[in-house]
Amino acid sequence: AQTVTQSQPEMSVQEAETVTLSCTYDTSESDYYLFWYKQPPSRQMILVIRQEAYKQQNATENRFSVNFQKAAKSFSLKISDSQLGDAAMYFCAYKETSGSRLTFGEGTQLTVNP
């Protein structure tokens, strides 16, 4: 069974600085998707960034980028120029290409200090 591990229950960063959230996963599949979702206090699940495993290039969305290391099964999220609005719980998630479910990690609570 696939598992997703986020080893940092809490992280904090100063406004305008950079922070990296870690995620590792376990799978025997060669093709799959990886996601980072943001959950602010409103509890809405917001997709931050996605990565297809067959793509070697790391995904980037504005201030958000990932470091995808397929051999190491690692998928970290880097947030540059952190803003107060980035404060939220961040979940890493995995999905098989042909599967029907997302497997989530336990989350990392990010605090942004002014």
Partner 1 sequence: NAGVMQNPRHLVRRRGQEARLRCSPMKGHSHVYWYRQLPEEGLKFMVYLQKENIIDESGMPKERFSAEFPKEGPSILRIQQVVRGDSAAYFCASSPLSDGYTLTGELFFGEGSRLTVL
Residue ranges that bind partner 1, judged by CB under 8 A? 4, 33, 35, 37, 42-47, 50, 52, 91, 95, 97-98, 100-107
At closest approach, how far in Å is the CB of 114 from partner 1?
Answer: 26
CB nearer partner 1, residue 29 or residue 81: 29
Do 84 and 12 meet the contact criterion of CB atoms below 8 Å apart? no
- Residue 15 CB, shortest distance to partner 1, in Å, is 26
CA distance linking residue 2 with residue 97, whole number of Å: 13
* Tokens 């943001």, located at residue: 38
